[in-house]
């Protein structure tokens, strides 16, 4: 399949899952807008290299996803949005009664409210073209829960609910909205946690991955950014024209338990 002629905006995409999704979409022929809250030379160089690698147009646009006006400005600055991947997210771990209020507000803003703003800004253009794809990167924690992650879990559950609502409002107009719910994905951020976990639990790498980090992931294997990217590309294909308002779990069986 080809996404040539389509423009894809991926929020929070200068590393990790977001960058992997951008790579997959570019490989399928889409022009790419990378995004994060920084505005460094290396951010723009990353987009330039991505474009050259896949022979597509690729740009980097700074926007702080904790600010609604910047979320909407990102869509406007892109000059068109056929595919919107709401990926930006942060995490903080603490008991409810100790959870910092400012962290709660920040997580809800970046992980949930940003998707509302970007979707609201992108939908009119998608409707006008009669084609559009909104893919929200939720989480296994959008379908289940764990202790000490109240803000993240509340936000990801909210993303799933937002996904269903947008899908219903756009039904029959050539626009779909779906959520991908990954389990643990091997990103640079997760990779960096492994040595600390090995030290804390006095285990070797493979044991700490299998018995600690992936305890709730029955496959005992990380998902990869390439697998998440491939799932996004599928949702942008004609095969997924009637797939809307649903969640796709890429979690090694986590939510089957």
Rg (CA), the chain: 18
Whether 249 and 143 have beta carbons less than 8 Å apart is answered as yes
Token pair belonging to 153: 């879990």
Token pair belonging to 188: 């640079």
Q: How many CB atoms lie within 10 A of CB 182?
A: 26
Residues 6+ away with beta carbon under 8 Å from 15: 187, 188, 189
Establish whether 152 is a catalytic residue. Answer: yes
Number of H helices, E strands in the chain: 9, 7
> Which secondary structure element, helix H or strand E, spans residue 32, and what is its range?
strand 31-36
Residue among 32, 48, 30 at smallest CA distance from 40: 48
User: How far apart (Å, rounded) are the C-alpha atoms in residues 133 and 122?
Assistant: 10
Q: What angle do CA 202, 98, 186 make, to 5 degrees?
A: 45
User: How far apart (Å, rounded) are the C-alpha atoms in residues 51 and 168?
Assistant: 34
Catalytic residue (choose from 148, 152, 184, 234): 152
User: How far apart (Å, rounded) are the C-alpha atoms in residues 243 and 8?
Assistant: 19
Enzyme catalytic residues: 152
């Amino acid at each position: 399949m080809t996404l040539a002629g389509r423009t894809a905006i991926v929020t929070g995409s200068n590393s990790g899952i977001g960058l992997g999704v951008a790579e997959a979409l570019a490989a399928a022929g889409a022009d790419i807008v990378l995004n994060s809250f920084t505005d460094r030379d290396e951010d723009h160089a990353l987009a330039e290299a991505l474009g050259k690698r896949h022979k597509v147009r690729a740009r980097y646009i700074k926007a702080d996803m904790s600010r609604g006006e910047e979320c909407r400005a990102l869509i406007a600055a892109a000059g068109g949005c056929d595919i919107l991947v709401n990926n930006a997210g942060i995490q903080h771990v603490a008991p409810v009664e100790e959870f910092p209020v400012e962290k709660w507000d920040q997580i809800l803003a970046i992980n949930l409210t940003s998707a509302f703003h970007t979707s609201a800004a992108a939908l009119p253009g998608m409707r006008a073209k009669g084609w559009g794809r909104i893919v929200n990167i939720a989480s296994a924690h959008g379908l289940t829960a764990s202790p000490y992650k109240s803000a993240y879990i509340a936000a990801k559950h909210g993303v799933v609910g937002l996904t269903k609502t947008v899908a219903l409002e756009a039904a029959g107009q050539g626009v779909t909205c779906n959520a991908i719910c990954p389990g643990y994905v091997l990103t640079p951020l997760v990779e960096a946690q492994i040595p600390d976990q090995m030290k804390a639990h006095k285990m070797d790498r493979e044991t700490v991955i299998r018995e600690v980090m992936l305890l709730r992931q029955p496959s005992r294997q990380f998902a990869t950014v390439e697998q998440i990217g491939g799932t996004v590309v599928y949702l942008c294909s004609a095969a997924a024209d009637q797939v809307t308002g649903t969640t796709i779990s890429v979690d090694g069986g986590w939510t089957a338990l």
